[in-house]
């Protein structure tokens, strides 16, 4: 249902913008034909992919796409005109490892409530994410199909969502959040968290294939499997490898049959290699990877979707078992970022915030933290142009087929932020969206405007 409706809405938008996207502004659709026309005048543009700021540019948005970029554009009379006054216009930010449902809810809230409450809480989390300047997220586990649909339909405010749906985990794996009272389990006895699409437990090739297909049926744009030990889970020491080669390969083959790919949670080096061997295209975390393994990312054209996890203010609240596991992660962060950068690994930016509204508020600050290893340009490019490249791996399953994301260019989706200051000189600005982001636009719609 969801895919159908998302395609329908894309088609409707296509009809609205067809008249404007290929023609000059003067021939742009009139007030009767277009729901939206905005001219941002006199901006310095960071395109997402190039280190140079292009100064003195006007950007004309027709419908939900960027229609024209150039100096001294003449807007049609009906256009909303925003004077940028030399402020810097950047593409909307992308978080490649986000959990809409889990980011802000505490475990206590999730355990004591049902889907209705989760959805209300997540709709607030969606809105807050958008107002931090994140206009697209790749959701890497959780019951997000309906939230993604509601966002696209305009029922709620929020970023575009590339949903993975419920993460698929083996018994005792990283997403097995059942209690020991749930075992021994039988196929007819599902945990309530499984039936509410929080996670799916699947053991053996047939079960893995079934769950992968069920996620595709519901609108997954990529498939997430747990391939090794994680921090917040209860039954899996950090060193564990999860899923057999046959199980991972079956998931990869099924995803590829649908034109998309598998991403895996893999922190320890063996799990990372196991994933690469199976044909996984995006390895999440990878904090214990060796130099040889990182070279394999380059050789096999695999994305490293890593988080700036350190033992600092952004460390999550953990019990002793989890803390011991987290140390393996934080100990690896510095080496892996430095080495991956040196070797030319494709690195995605994602935050993987879990169970804390306070930490979620620091989504942009996490991006600014990349300054330890990257220039502001490299970090900003990662969260825009590069993350958008990663999203392209969803191929024909993308919910947003009309133009590129993560860039400012003619024909791209009009997802942009007008920054009061130059983030290429001061990346800390993205960590303070409330004061630094004067305009937040997604899909051609202005959500925030403090310019006037």
Binding site for Zn ion (CB under 5 A): 140, 352
Nearer Cβ to Zn ion, position 314 or 352? 352
CB of residue 353 to Zn ion, shortest distance in Å: 9
Give me the least distance between CB of 419 and Zn ion, in Å please. Answer: 28
CB of residue 225 vs Zn ion: minimum separation in angstroms?
12
Least Å from the CB of residue 115 to Zn ion: 20
Nearer to Zn ion, 322 or 426 (CB): 322
In angstroms, give the least distance from the CB of 253 to Zn ion: 24
CB of 233 to Zn ion, least distance (A): 11
Closer to Zn ion at the Cβ: 140 or 218?
140
Is the Cβ of residue 142 or residue 399 nearer to Zn ion in the bound state? 142
Q: How many Å separate Cα 406 from the centre of its chain? A: 11
| b/e 237-246 (16+ beta carbons within 10 angstroms → b) | ebebbbbbee
Q: Smallest gap, in angstroms, from Cβ of residue 228 to Zn ion? A: 13
Least spacing, CB of residue 325 vs Zn ion, in Å: 14
**Closer residue to Zn ion, CB minimum distance, 66 or 96:** 96
Q: Are 288 and 237 spatial neighbours (Cβ–Cβ below 8 Å)?
A: no
Q: How far is the CB of 139 from Zn ion (least distance, A)?
A: 9
Residue 39 C-beta: closest distance to Zn ion, Å: 39
Q: Which is nearer to Zn ion, 140 or 289 (CB)?
A: 140
CA 79 distance to own-chain centroid: 31
- Which residue lies nearest Zn ion, judged by its C-beta? 352
In the block, which residue shows the tokens 């990349």?
370
**Residue in this structure with the two tokens 């011991």, named with its chain if needed:** 324
264: CB partners within 8 A, 6+ apart: 224, 225, 226, 227, 228, 248, 271, 275, 280, 282, 283, 284
Comparing CB distances to Zn ion, the nearer of 13 and 140 is 140
Nearer to Zn ion, 157 or 352 (CB): 352
Q: Which residues of 63-85 are buried (b: 16+ CB within 10 A; e: fewer)?
A: bbbbbbbeeebebbeebeebebe
Closer to Zn ion by Cβ: residue 325 or 442 = 325
Q: Whole-number minimum distance, CB 141 to Zn ion, in Å?
A: 6
Q: Cβ(417)–Cβ(92) under 8 Å? A: yes
Phi, psi of 343 (to 5 degrees): -85, -10
User: In the complex with Zn ion, which residue's Cβ is closer, 140 or 282?
Assistant: 140
190, two tokens: 């599902």
**Alpha-carbon distance values, 101 to 146, 154, 327, 360, 387 (Å):** 11, 18, 25, 12, 21
Q: Kindly tell me which of 199 and 337 has the beta carbon lying closer to Zn ion.
A: 199
């Amino acid at each position: 249902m969801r895919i159908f409706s998302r395609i329908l809405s894309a088609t409707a938008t296509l009809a609205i913008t067809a008249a404007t996207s290929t023609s000059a502004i003067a021939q742009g659709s009139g007030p009767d034909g277009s729901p939206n026309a905005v001219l941002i005048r006199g901006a310095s543009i960071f395109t997402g992919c190039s280190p140079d700021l292009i100064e003195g540019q006007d950007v004309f948005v027709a419908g939900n796409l960027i229609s024209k970029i150039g100096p001294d554009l003449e807007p049609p009379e009906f256009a909303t005109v925003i004077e940028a006054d030399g402020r810097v216009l950047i593409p909307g930010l992308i978080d490649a490892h986000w959990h809409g449902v889990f980011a802000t809810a505490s475990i206590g809230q999730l355990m004591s409530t049902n889907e209705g409450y989760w959805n209300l809480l997540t709709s607030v989390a969606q809105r807050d994410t958008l107002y931090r300047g994140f206009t697209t997220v790749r959701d890497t586990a959780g019951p997000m199909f309906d939230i993604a649909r509601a966002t696209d339909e305009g029922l709620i405010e929020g970023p575009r969502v590339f949903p993975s749906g419920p993460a698929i985990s083996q018994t005792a794996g990283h997403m097995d959040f059942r209690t020991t009272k749930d075992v021994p389990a039988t196929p007819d006895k599902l945990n309530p968290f499984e039936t509410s699409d929080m996670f799916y437990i699947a053991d053996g090739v047939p079960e893995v294939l079934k769950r992968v297909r069920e996620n595709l049926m519901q609108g997954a744009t990529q498939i997430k499997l747990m391939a090794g030990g994680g921090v917040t889970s209860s039954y899996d020491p950090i060193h564990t490898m999860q899923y057999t080669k046959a199980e991972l390969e079956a998931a990869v083959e099924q995803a590829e049959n649908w034109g998309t790919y598998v991403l895996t949670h893999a922190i320890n080096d063996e799990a990372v290699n196991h994933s690469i061997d199976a044909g996984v295209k995006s390895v999440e975390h990878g904090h214990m990877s060796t130099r040889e393994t990182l070279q394999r990312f380059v050789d096999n054209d695999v994305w490293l979707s890593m988080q700036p996890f350190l033992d600092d203010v952004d460390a999550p609240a953990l019990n002793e078992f989890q803390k011991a596991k987290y140390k393996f992660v934080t100990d690896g962060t510095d080496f892996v970022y430095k080495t991956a950068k040196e070797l030319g690994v494709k690195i995605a930016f994602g935050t993987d915030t879990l169970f804390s509204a306070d930490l979620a508020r620091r989504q942009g600050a996490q991006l600014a933290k990349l300054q330890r290893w990257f220039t502001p340009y490299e970090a900003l490019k990662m969260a825009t142009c590069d993350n958008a490249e990663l999203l392209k791996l969803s191929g024909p399953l993308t919910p947003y087929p009309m133009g590129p994301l993560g860039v400012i260019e003619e024909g791209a989706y009009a997802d942009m932020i007008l920054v009061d200051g130059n983030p290429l000189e001061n990346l800390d600005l993205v960590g303070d969206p409330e004061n630094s982001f004067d305009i937040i636009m997604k899909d051609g719609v202005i959500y925030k405007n403090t310019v006037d």
